[in-house]
Copies of this chain bind each other. A is one copy, B any other.
């Protein structure tokens, strides 16, 4: 009797919520988003610029005018800007790189030259060097192995790498590890230019003189202010000296357009680049070294700048100490219409809609915190400093962090904690894709079916939940998930219309966005509906909608991947060793070209996967028990169980962090040490295997197995509590 009565109560609450949700989803208005984007992108608004502060104050006033409790929270961070930038080829022909993006007549904000940050990579070291060029493709570790086969070393050279394949900050790091003295990163039209589509202003893609600014700090050590790792960059914080900051690059780095890069690449000789290294410039790609010789001079102003995070708090009516957090940054590299305003204006409409609902009597059960972050572009500064400053509170109170960033036309792109996978699937079944009128969930399933092979199709047609990706890095969820262990989601629409063609350039502005991206802001509305619905549903749930079977299933897949990775490495090493004995590499190589065959390696030992296997088995059982118990939850247990659910992501972290980078504490997800944005799941284990550190791999298996076991214990307790035991 008691149980069925309580279930009735829960059901009524859900019904009520869904009415509020429907009201909510009717409010976001494309017209407002368009206006907000136009206002906020009217001038360059990078960290430290007048318009960055102006936007924050405008947001604050707007939010307050809606009756919301908003305030600005400041931090003071190291943010270098260019003082001197020179790249010139001195041999075999003279050429000086332009390093500037020309105004485009049709585009009214592209001529704000005085306010624009020049083309540069933030947190590059100062330096002046003259050295021959070596082309290193994307500049990831595998590219250097390939160079070694060609007998080409980058020691003492300036590498020229193309954007793509890894986060940009990886490129100078790996180059320096291999002895390079400088690094140029350029946008090849193969990845980012006419190869993809027509270029701006005729089309959405990067024009020949467009270049990609961006941070190169070594964010996989720690993001945020380089001088205050682990603590908030408040005025009184104890700061490192600049030379102590490990996240500043060891060598000078500068980005350039393909207009600037073409003469450099065309002047190179040496082996022809392997086919998969070749871009879309109308030249033969050679790897060098030289004869192109480049003189490069970089000097920065190493200033402390003020950040303006705009923070809104809607207090919870029933569980005020449980916080649902949502964020999107507002700072940009230049005018930043797509990155980040396309996401920020959706977030702003969520705020307007919530203000409206509050006036109508909606009282969210939990506290909702909305953040408009500053300083994301240079290194997730605003979110990281805020998360570090409020770490203790957040670890106690945070239920979920939901992030967005750039938004566009197309399909939902969702990544996050897999304990939220089932929750998110529920949300997107209630959101309508604005152009096809299918639900967002249905369109995603059908699109995935179109791309899938037979095995994956079978899963797509039978698994109740669509899979979401794991989070690496590249936006403001990083400190929440990886440092604090807060279950996180990152959402955005995209994949159709103009993509990343003007990313981090002066052309990412209102003109570009309203001609080539989500021109009528209907996907802006869809993002506001999706994120807002998720926030409301999480804030208003009695029992928090975490689910663990999807998580356990996902982690089991990761473990299977690791076993295949380990076995594959063994087979591959044995095969390579055998082929070296047989003389395969010498025989297959052109005797007239330089070629250095690989050397023999000891085959990897067998690792003890039992701790992971035992952990995942326990977790799977506990998840089944918990998910079954959810369906018959005793209301009296909810508060205690919710506390455990809030802790559930925290339990996946380890205070000692990952090997060599203790700031990263999550043992299931982390940005890869050599990928940057790209995630490594079970990162301690995976990177140890990839980098052939076998003893460390065994140790990391133990640690990862332990957090799975701990999570299983938590779920067993939660299941028991739910059942009223």
Seen from chain A, the residues whose Cβ lies within 8 Å of a Cβ on chain B are 189, 194-199, 203, 205, 272, 278, 280-284, 409-410, 435-436, 438, 442-443, 446-447, 449-451, 454, 457, 496-497, 571, 575, 579, 582-588, 590-592
Contact = CB atoms under 8 A, between A and B. Distances in A.
B282 A575 contact: no
A496 B590 contact: yes
Contacts of A195: 278, 284
27 contacts: A194-B282, A195-B278, A195-B284, A196-B284, A197-B272, A198-B284, A199-B284, A280-B282, A281-B282, A410-B590, A436-B587, A438-B587, A446-B584, A446-B587, A446-B588, A447-B587, A447-B588, A449-B579, A449-B582, A449-B584, A449-B588, A450-B579, A450-B585, A450-B588, A454-B575, A457-B575, A497-B590
A189 to B, nearest CB: 7
A317 to B, nearest CB: 40
A37 to B, nearest CB: 20
Nearest to A451: B588
Q: Which of the listed residues A282, A442, A454 has the most CB atoms from chain B within 10 Å of its own CB?
A: A282
Number of copies: 2
A405 to B, nearest CB: 22
A438 B584 CA distance: 11
A584 B450 contact: yes
Most chain B beta carbons < 10 A, residue from A205, A284, A497: A284
A132 B558 CA distance: 53
Contacts of A583: 438, 446
B189 A282 contact: yes
Contact of A592 (B282, B435, B446): B435
A197 B575 contact: no
Contact of A284 (B197, B281, B496, B586): B197
A496 B592 contact: yes
A421 B387 CA distance: 71
Contact of A587 (B284, B443, B571): B443
Nearest to A208: B282
A454 B572 CA distance: 10
A194 B266 CA distance: 11
Contacts of A584: 446-447, 449-450
Given A205-B284, A442-B587, A454-B571, 14 more contacts: A195-B284, A198-B272, A199-B284, A280-B282, A281-B282, A435-B591, A435-B592, A438-B587, A446-B582, A447-B587, A449-B584, A450-B587, A450-B588, A454-B575
Q: List the 3 closest pairs (A to B, CB-CB), nearest first.
A: A446-B587, A450-B588, A435-B591
A189 B197 CA distance: 19
A198 B195 CA distance: 21
- Best-surrounded residue of A189, A196, A449 (most CB of chain B within 10 A): A449
A199 B446 CA distance: 46
Given A584-B450, A590-B496, A194 B436 contact: no
A584 B448 CA distance: 9
A588 B450 CA distance: 7
A165 B703 CA distance: 53
A442 B446 CA distance: 50
A282 B282 contact: yes
Contacts of A196: 284
A460 to B, nearest CB: 10
A410 B438 CA distance: 57
Contacts of A280: 280, 282
Contacts of A435: 591-592
Given A195-B278, A584-B446, A284 B203 contact: yes
Contacts of A454: 571, 575
Contacts of A197: 272, 284
Contacts of A450: 579, 584-585, 587-588
A610 to B, nearest CB: 28
A205 to B, nearest CB: 8
Nearest to A442: B587
A626 to B, nearest CB: 33
Contacts of A579: 449-450
A459 to B, nearest CB: 15
